[in-house]
Structure 1
């Protein structure tokens, strides 16, 4: 065997010892080839190519590009094939579990997607990877509703590590209550808020203020009593109103658009001095006289 061949064998032995002696080693790989059936082929600085099987990828194989850098963990070395098998999921999962534990301790929301209805509630995937359980009573999903397909914000109620893995319980209801309490703590009667109109009926306008609902009764829409809710807004539009009453027990806020309008009675003397002659339609006739509408909101 030549000195050159001996040198190559020595390097090969050193490489094998490195791979076999460091299971769990974290490395950075660069995608060199994408195989739709097998997964990714990567260069991670060794003499042999690395293989990341599809089951060990965080995303679907179609989402990767040649030249892309990925954080990987060494799983094993296949001596017969001459490949090093790596995982992207393992280091990603470890980081994700750490972040989820921090979210639980700090009581901050996480993203999750309902993937299956099961006894007592729903199976949820957090960040499309970590399984969790959401009790039906915490889902805010009615019996006649289908679970949302998109990711939703959730609070982690319980985070434990058991013999069979992690036991994580999440809640949509707890997050809603948390946001409602935060909104109520940050607002008071007299504050002006903006919201999206979600419903208009004959007697009121219903406004989405985010975590709470606001209602504008008909008598608080305008100084002009002839205006109906449908005359001033429609579903999907935005309105600005003043908070006039907060009912803590129901989390419903009474709003007034009328309070943001100029009060016509405040300047009535300047606009209609004594002796001013006006011609206006009769509004109603009573035994003691009749009423005339001078302008919207002002009768005489």
Structure 2
């Protein structure tokens, strides 16, 4: 192109003009383009390719791409162009609409920086660490290249400030699920949940967007001292819905109700004649209740406690005492178990003796005593 023609071409463009160019060459730090309806070369410096930092030009464009560009500078033989400024102008308008409408949209995480994530939306969007998830994240390195859903929580075009939140999307979704669940869940349902938190009085279980309380008394058929003894955080459990308080958004759950009852198959586990170890749980005037399985207590009638006569069970037993018992009878339907301690005790020999010999007679035969008396009679 002659110098005069070049001057004419250059004279056709001003800073701020919009042009369309096709990428002809991608170098490391710049891109060359053919400008539509012009013989001038176009150059896009790497800093004008994207709103976010890129290491090489090929991260933003490829050969053959058609780009909308803005003239930054008019030189004698070329135009210095910006893709970033055009993208930003388009982006701000679209982002303003998304912001006003509270729209949720997906975007790829382009970079992980100190304090959060960077997203390219035509302008640089920043996601503070506290707005990434609804829980604490220690390491964000896995988020690079990941696509997430976002909402715009702050937008200021003048300050070039765009703040995004993935956490807001997650919490809104959780809120919707919670309401749906509260409206549809019914007492009596058995569902799977995950133990979220453990307290002194029970465990909170997530049942799909809402936490329900399993009171300590509903954790197991057996007595529980500490909830942490029977469940742990993150554990999958089946729970039965006991009560739904929709006004206060509270759900009462039970793990115990989903477990086999303590009396189930008791006739097989403790048939007549079985000898079991148990713990004395309660003493009453007519006998002792002994727990032989968690949640299963049988009665040792006062007549089955000892061979000798006793006035009250307290004479020979105390609560908490470990004892060995024999099953006399079992009734699974009525949840009754008759037990005996006496049948496992040796009968005391003294109980069959009607009288005792005098203290001085111990170690002598009766015949010897009688013989001595007869001698005395004869001698008289």
1:233 deviates by 3.2
Task: Tell me which residue corresponds to 1:101.
Answer: 97
Pairing 1:61–2:54 present: yes
TM-score (ref. length: structure 2): 0.51
Distance 1:59 1:166 in 2: 12
- 1:106-121 to 2 correspondence within 5 Å? 108=104
1:185 deviates by 0.7
Among 28, 32, 35, which residue is 1:43 paired with? 32
Are the equivalent residues in 1 in contact too, given 2:7–2:76 (CA < 8 A)?
Answer: no
Task: Tell me which residue corresponds to 1:265.
Answer: 263
Pairing 1:193–2:189 present: no
Structure 1 residues 210 and 271, CA gap change in structure 2 (3 angstroms): closer
The secondary structure found in structure 2 opposite 1:294 is strand
Among 209, 218, 221, which residue is 1:220 paired with? 218
Are the equivalent residues in 2 in contact too, given 1:242–1:260 (CA < 8 A)?
Answer: yes
Are the equivalent residues in 2 in contact too, given 1:71–1:91 (CA < 8 A)?
Answer: no
Pairing 1:24–2:13 present: no
Distance 2:68 2:212 in 1: 52
Distance 1:154 1:249 in 2: 31
The secondary structure found in structure 2 opposite 1:61 is coil
Distance 1:31 1:212 in 2: 55
- 1:91-240 to 2 correspondence within 5 Å? 91=87, 94-95=90-91, 97-98=93-94, 101-102=97-98, 105=101, 108=104, 129=123, 155=151, 176=171, 179-186=174-181, 188-189=185-186, 190-195=189-194, 197-208=195-206, 211-226=209-224, 228-235=226-233, 237-240=234-237
Structure 1 residues 95 and 107, CA gap change in structure 2 (3 angstroms): closer
Structure 2 unaligned spans of 5+: 299-380
Cα distance per residue 1:198-218 (max 9 Å; x no partner): 432332223455743333221
Cα distance per residue 1:45-102 (max 9 Å; x no partner): 3452422452662321226547943774311142247233122353266257536735
Number of residue pairs matched by the alignment: 270
Structure 1 residues 215 and 229, CA gap change in structure 2 (3 angstroms): same
Among 24, 27, 35, which residue is 1:33 paired with? 27
Distance 1:221 1:169 in 2: 44
Task: Tell me which residue corresponds to 1:79.
Answer: 75
Are the equivalent residues in 1 in contact too, given 2:289–2:297 (CA < 8 A)?
Answer: yes
Structure 1 residues 240 and 285, CA gap change in structure 2 (3 angstroms): closer
Question: Aligned-residue CA RMSD in angstroms?
Answer: 5.2
Are the equivalent residues in 1 in contact too, given 2:16–2:70 (CA < 8 A)?
Answer: no
Structure 1 residues 73 and 250, CA gap change in structure 2 (3 angstroms): farther
Structure 1 residues 105 and 28, CA gap change in structure 2 (3 angstroms): farther
